[in-house]
């Protein structure tokens, strides 16, 4: 089991290019991959995205790729100056100063902002050559990412198992209390009738009929059976090597539904208290499940 939160960084140097790759992931219901890489390498995104999806099925993935030329190849880049354009800009400012009758000074920033005065050679990244450096760095970064996500996933699993045991204890206690509810209701009903001056035998048909209707309304055996099934399935997903976040989230919804039904049907204070405590623990489980891939 893996968490959706992780980070991996790696670099690889080919003969021409040094590639540094960072991969960071955070929670997201679907896989959402964002790249930061040189514009001329946009054609590589599809292939890199496909590789990332083999390692990450859910979460927002931010991939940063930085390239440098290896060794002396950095010196091949040059700077070009258009002096005629610079002189024209200077003349324009002089004319503007004369028109406004106040001096307006040119700064280095003005020359840098004006297109065409200073230009640099295009980095000219060749996609095929760049890919040879990027792919090994990406593989290493993904490996570190998965290690971190797996370590956090193990911590999440341990926490969820402890909380799951608490839920199972509540369900066991509710199942033990449930048969006593009808008995207590029969005694309570008989006491109320006695207090009202109406004497009925405990085996009176009318009393038995009323108790039978009550027992049918508050029967929660189906709900506790389904809860047992859901909790067993929850454990199976925690032990699975496949991404289980969506399945666990769905099970949390179903478990919550069963507890709600038990709370409304049971008509018993002790069962109600256990339902409240169980739902409080379940909410903590649901929060943790949002971090699972």
Boundaries of every domain in the chain: 6-72+124-149, 79-120, 151-289
Residue 63's pLDDT band (boundaries 50, 70, 90)?
A: very high
Q: Report the C-alpha gap between 257 and 215 in whole angstroms.
A: 21
| pLDDT at position 74 | 47
Measured from the Cβ of residue 255, the count of other Cβ atoms closer than 10 Å reads 24
Tell me the pLDDT tens digit for each residue of 70-91. Answer: 764 444 456 778 899 989 988 9
Percent of the chain with pLDDT over 90: 48
Give tens-digit pLDDT for 7-42.
999 999 988 899 999 999 999 888 899 999 888 899
pTM, 2 dp: 0.68
123 close to 18: Cβ distance less than 8 angstroms? no
Looking only at the bridges linking them, the beta strands covering 79-81 and 31-36 are unpaired
Q: Which residue has the higher pLDDT, 16 or 155?
A: 155
Q: β-strands 31-36, 59-69: how paired?
A: parallel
pLDDT at 19: 94
CATH of 6-72+124-149, one of 2.60.40, 1.20.120, 3.30.230, 1.10.287: 3.30.230
Judged against a pLDDT cut of 90, whether residue 264 lies above it is answered with: no
> What is the rounded distance in angstroms from the CA atom of residue 251 to the CA atom of residue 246?
9
* pLDDT on residue 237: 93
The pair of three-digit structure tokens given for residue 9, joined into one six-digit string:
């960084």
């Amino acid at each position: 089991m893996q968490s959706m939160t992780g980070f991996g960084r790696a670099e690889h140097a080919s003969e021409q290019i040094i590639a540094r790759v960072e991969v960071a992931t955070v929670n997201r219901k679907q896989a959402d991959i964002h790249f930061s890489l040189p514009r001329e390498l946009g054609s590589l995104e599809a292939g890199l995205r496909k590789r990332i999806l083999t390692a990450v099925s859910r979460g927002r993935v931010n991939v940063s790729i930085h390239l440098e030329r290896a060794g002396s190849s950095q010196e091949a880049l040059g700077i070009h100056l258009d002096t005629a354009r610079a002189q024209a800009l200077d003349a324009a400012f002089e004319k503007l100063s004369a028109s406004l009758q106040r001096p307006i000074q040119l700064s280095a920033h003005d020359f840098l902002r004006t297109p065409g005065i200073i230009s640099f050679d295009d980095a000219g990244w060749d996609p095929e050559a760049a890919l040879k450096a990027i792919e090994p760095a990406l593989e290493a970064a993904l490996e570190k990412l998965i290690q971190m996500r797996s370590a956090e996933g193990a911590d999440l699993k341990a926490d969820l198992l402890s909380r799951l045991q608490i839920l199972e204890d509540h369900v066991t206690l509710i199942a033990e209390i449930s048969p006593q509810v009808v008995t207590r209701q029969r005694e309570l009903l008989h006491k109320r009738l006695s207090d009202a001056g109406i004497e009925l035998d405990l085996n009176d048909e009318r009393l038995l009929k009323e108790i039978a209707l009550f027992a049918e309304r508050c029967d929660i055996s189906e709900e506790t059976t389904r809860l047992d099934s859901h909790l067993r399935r929850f454990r199976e997903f925690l032990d699975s090597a496949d991404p289980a976040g969506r399945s666990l989230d769905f099970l949390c919804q179903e478990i919550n539904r069963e507890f709600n039904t038990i709370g409304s049907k049971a008509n018993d204070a002790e069962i109600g208290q256990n339902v409240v405590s169980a739902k409080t623990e379940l909410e903590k489980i649901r929060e943790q499940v949002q971090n699972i891939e």
